[in-house]
Amino acid sequence: MSVAGETRAFGLRHLLGMEGVAREDIVTILDLADAMAQISERPIKKVPTLRGKTVITLFAEPSTRTRASFELAGKRLSAEVINLSASTSSFQKGESLLDTARNLEAMRPDILILRHSAAGAPHFLADRLGCAILNAGDGWHAHPSQALLDCATIRKHKGSLDGLEVAICGDIRHSRVARCNVIALQTLGAKVRCAGPRTMMPVGMEEQYGVTVHDRIEAAVEGADVVMMLRLQLERQRGALFPNAREYARFYGLNPARAALAKPDAIIMHPGPMNRGLEIDPAVADGERSVILEQVTYGVAVRMALLCLFAGVRPEVG
């Protein structure tokens, strides 16, 4: 892989959500991610592609996968990477998000990566800052790099997303992953079915997103090429949305019998972190059709691709 130099052909200035992201831009990201994935398999996992570029991650909510993979992505590309969290930043002294971000921008980063509990926080900064903003998850709203790594994982297994039947099951209402995935999957030609308790299904999913909605998980999983389970977002739920954990697992958990309703070559996905025994049975999560840890591996590759493209560096692939 060699560095081709600066380019303006990529169509995005920030990555805030999947709405309006063109199919060609998604394909560019996924193609570059496939090339980047090879770097992580080498004995020396480092290339000079982003030498001289600066990336700051600002996580105002907990994260394991997204934060570690953005940091690793930057380091494997030789960027300078600085990581800040709410608990160790001057948020603790009452500094606002905008003041924090403006001070970080004064240090001249090329990219600022933000996770925040407020939906729209990355958009707010994108309107006010000069560097590229990548949304690493904002409230219930969006988690675009997760959707992209999910699409990359599916494409690796299925070759193409065109015409695939994808079931997204569980707590759709509180999931920033679900919304982004619906849009990205449909942009790449997949058909999406959603299932979950009505109390966790946003009103108007069919009309707004063009998905089919099922009350029973079996109806969504039957004949699916991909089954994507969602975490019960207990920290975002106000009030009881289901009787108890045992009832939820009984009616909405993906157990071996339900997983068997999908196509024989179906893959099982989960963005993590998992509530084992609640939305997914450990036998399925660790079973031979599970690609859950491959999603995490692709997370690094997709984020390497994003850092290159949003830093204005487009390596030649192939």
- Contact footprint for ligand CP (CB under 6 A): 63-67, 137, 143, 146, 271-273
Nearest to ligand CP of 143, 191 (CB atom): 143
- Min dist CB 160 to ligand CP, Å, is 24
Nearest to ligand CP of 270, 314 (CB atom): 270
Nearest to ligand CP of 144, 271 (CB atom): 271
For 190, phi and psi rounded to 5 degrees?
Answer: -80, 160
Q: Taking a C-beta distance cutoff of 8 angstroms, is the pair 26, 148 a contact? A: yes
- Min dist CB 75 to ligand CP, Å, is 17
- Min dist CB 149 to ligand CP, Å, is 9
- Min dist CB 113 to ligand CP, Å, is 11
Nearest to ligand CP of 137, 315 (CB atom): 137
- Min dist CB 157 to ligand CP, Å, is 19
Nearest to ligand CP of 66, 187 (CB atom): 66
- Min dist CB 225 to ligand CP, Å, is 21
Three-state SS for the chain is CEEEEECCCCCCCCECCCCCCCHHHHHHHHHHHHHHHHHCCCCCCCCCCCCCCEEEEEECCCCCHHHHHHHHHHHHCCCEEEEEEHHHCHHHHCCCHHHHHHHHHCCCCCEEEEEECCCCHHHHHHCCCCCEEEEEEECCCECHHHHHHHHHHHHHHHCCCCCCEEEEECCCCCCHHHHHHHHHHHHCCCEEEEECCHHHCCCCHHHHHCCEEECCHHHHHCCCCEEEECCCCHHHCCCCCCCCHHHHHHHHCECHHHHCCCCCCCEEECCCCCCECCCECHHHHCCCCECHHHHHHHHHHHHHHHHHHHCCEEEECC
| Pairing relationship of beta strands 165-169 and 226-229 according to DSSP bridges | parallel
Instruction: List the structure tokens of 58.
Output: 């600002």
- Min dist CB 42 to ligand CP, Å, is 25
First to last CA, the chain: 7
For 211, phi and psi rounded to 5 degrees?
Answer: -100, 165
Nearest to ligand CP of 175, 187 (CB atom): 175
Nearest to ligand CP of 113, 284 (CB atom): 113
- Min dist CB 180 to ligand CP, Å, is 11
Nearest to ligand CP of 49, 175 (CB atom): 175
